[in-house]
Structure 1
Amino acid sequence: MSSAALPTSALAISAAIRSGSLSATDVTRAALDLVSARDGEIGAFTTVTAERALNEAQAVDRLRAEGSKLGPLAGVPYGVKDLFDIKGLSTLAGSKINRTRPPADADAVLIQRMTAAGAILLGGLNMGEFAYDFTGENAHHGPSRNPLDTKRMSGGSSGGSAAAVAAGFLPLSLGSDTNGSIRVPSAFCGLYGLKPTYGRLPRTGTFPFCDSLDHLGPFARTVGDLALCYDVLQGWDGGDVACVDRPSEQASQELAKGATGLRTAVAGGYFRRGADPSAIAAVDRAAHALGASEEIDIPDVTRARAAAFLITNAEGSALHLDNLRHRAEDFDPDTRDRFLAGAMLPASWYIAAQRFRLQFEAAMRKVFSEFDILLAPSTPFSAPLLGQKTMMLGGSEVPLRPNIGIFTQPISFIGLPVAAVPVRVDGPMPYGVQVIARPWREDLCLRAAAVIEAAGVAHMTPSSL
Structure 2
Amino acid sequence: MAHDKKAAIEDLVNTAFSLSNGGANRNTYLWQEQSWTFSEVRRIASMPADTSTIFADGHEPLWGIPVSVKDCFDLAGAPTTCGTRFYEALHGSAAADSWLVEKLRAAGAVIIGKTHLHPLAYGITGENAEFGDCVQPGDPDNLTGGSSSGAAASVLEGSAMAAIGTDTGGSVRVPAALCGLAGYRASLGRGDWRGGAHLAQSFDTMGWLFADLEDAPLLGSFFAPQSETTTAEQDSLPKRFAIVHDEFFSDCDPEVLEGLRLCRAELEFLGLRAETVNVPWWNDSCEIYSTIQAWEAARIHAGYYAEFGPAIQQRLEWGASISDDEITRLRKRHTEFRERMDMLLADHELLLMPAAPVAKLTVGADHSQTRARLLRYTTPVSLAGMPAITIPFSKEHCKTGGMQLAAAREDDSRLLQLAARMGSARKAQ
The 3-state SS of whatever aligns with 1:404 is helix
Counterpart Cα distance in 2 of 1:95 and 1:270? 39
C-alpha deviations, 1:231-289, integer Å up to 9, x for none? 13333xxxxxxxxxx723569x999x68x452122122564233222222212211111
Alignment pair present for 1:204 and 2:194 = yes
Contact 2:49–2:59 (Cα < 8 Å) also in 1: no
The 3-state SS of whatever aligns with 1:405 is helix
Counterpart Cα distance in 2 of 1:361 and 1:43? 38
Contact 1:372–1:438 (Cα < 8 Å) also in 2: yes
Counterpart Cα distance in 2 of 1:110 and 1:319? 20
Hey, what does 1:428 align to over in structure 2? 398
- The one of 46, 60, 73 aligned to 1:84: 73
The CA RMSD measured in Å over matched residues stands at: 2.8
- The one of 184, 191, 204 aligned to 1:194: 184
Alignment pair present for 1:279 and 2:239 = no
- Change in Cα spacing, 1:283 to 1:208, as seen in structure 2 (3 Å) is same
Alignment pair present for 1:163 and 2:153 = yes
- Residue pairs, 1:215-226, within 5 angstroms: 215-226=205-216
Counterpart Cα distance in 2 of 1:212 and 1:341? 18
Counterpart Cα distance in 1 of 2:403 and 2:143? 18
- Change in Cα spacing, 1:452 to 1:270, as seen in structure 2 (3 Å) is farther
Give the deviation of 1:344 after TM superposition. 2.0
Counterpart Cα distance in 2 of 1:52 and 1:79? 14
Alignment pair present for 1:410 and 2:380 = yes
Q: Which amino acid aligns with 2:74?
A: D
Q: Which amino acid aligns with 2:18?
A: D
C-alpha deviations, 1:169-212, integer Å up to 9, x for none? 11111011110000011011111111111101222210111111
Alignment pair present for 1:141 and 2:131 = yes
Hey, what does 2:170 align to over in structure 1? 180
In structure 2, the gaps of 5 or more residues are 52-56
Counterpart Cα distance in 2 of 1:442 and 1:17? 36
Give the deviation of 1:21 after TM superposition. 10
TM-score, scaled relative to structure 2: 0.90
Q: Which amino acid aligns with 2:303?
A: D
- Of stretches 425-434 and 86-95 in structure 1, the one that deviates more from structure 2 is 425-434
- Change in Cα spacing, 1:166 to 1:179, as seen in structure 2 (3 Å) is same
Hey, what does 2:114 align to over in structure 1? 124
Q: Percent identity?
A: 25
Give the deviation of 1:224 after TM superposition. 2.8
Alignment pair present for 1:73 and 2:58 = no
- Change in Cα spacing, 1:17 to 1:154, as seen in structure 2 (3 Å) is farther
Q: Which amino acid aligns with 1:296?
A: V
Alignment pair present for 1:61 and 2:45 = yes
The 3-state SS of whatever aligns with 2:46 is helix
Give the deviation of 1:433 after TM superposition. 0.6
- Of stretches 130-139 and 298-307 in structure 1, the one that deviates more from structure 2 is 298-307
- The one of 415, 419, 423 aligned to 1:453: 423
- Of stretches 276-285 and 83-92 in structure 1, the one that deviates more from structure 2 is 276-285
- Of stretches 221-230 and 313-322 in structure 1, the one that deviates more from structure 2 is 221-230
Counterpart Cα distance in 2 of 1:224 and 1:22? 27
Give the deviation of 1:439 after TM superposition. 0.7
- Residue pairs, 1:287-302, within 5 angstroms: 287-291=264-268, 292-302=273-283
Contact 1:17–1:23 (Cα < 8 Å) also in 2: no
Contact 1:276–1:380 (Cα < 8 Å) also in 2: yes
- Change in Cα spacing, 1:59 to 1:178, as seen in structure 2 (3 Å) is same
Hey, what does 2:14 align to over in structure 1? 29
